[in-house]
Amino acid sequence: MKKLLLILLFILASVLVYGQSPCKGSGICVVQYNAEFNAANKVSWVGKLKECDTKFIDIQKDTKAAGKYKIVVVPTIVIYNDGEEVKRFQANIMMTMEATQKEVQEAITEIIMEGM
C-alpha cells in the first residue's frame, strides 16, 4: 500500500512540475531560451513584443531548464498563456531564429482574440 501511495505521489509531482511554466502569474508570457555560447544569435526583439510579459532563460546557466521545458535547440521562443505552452518557435540548424517579430506578435494577438 505504501509503495502504491509513493508511486501515485511521484506521478502527481511529475505532472505538476511538467505542467508549470517559467512565468509567474496569469496572462501571456513569452520566454526566449538561449545559451551563452549562442549569444550572437540572441533574439533582440523579444523585449519589444506587446500585450505580454517577456523573460529570458540561459540554459547554460539554468542547466535543468532545457530538460524541464524540452528545449532541443537555441534559441527557442515559447509563448505561454496562463502557464500553459501554446506556441513554440525554434531556431534552424544554424542556431538562428527564422521566426520574425511580426509572426510572434501575430501569434500573441491570435491567443488574445481566442480568449475573448
Q: Is the pLDDT of residue 17 over 70?
A: no
Task: Name beta bridge partners: 57.
Answer: 33
Compute φ and ψ for 103, nearest 5 degrees.
-65, -45
| DSSP secondary structure string for all residues of 51-75 | SSEEEEEETTTSTTHHHHTT--SSS
Q: Is the pLDDT of residue 8 over 60?
A: no
Q: If residue 114 lies in a helix (H) or strand (E), which one and from where to where?
A: helix 101-114
27 versus 6: the higher-pLDDT residue is 27
Average pLDDT over residues 104-111: 98
Where is average pLDDT lowest: 20-24, 71-75, 82-86, 98-102? Answer: 20-24
* Residue 8 burial by Cβ neighbours in a 10 Å radius (0-12, 13-18, 19+): exposed
115 versus 16: the higher-pLDDT residue is 115
Q: If residue 88 lies in a helix (H) or strand (E), which one and from where to where?
A: strand 84-90
| Whole-prediction pTM | 0.81
Q: Is the pLDDT of residue 54 over 60?
A: yes
Q: Is the pLDDT of residue 111 over 50?
A: yes
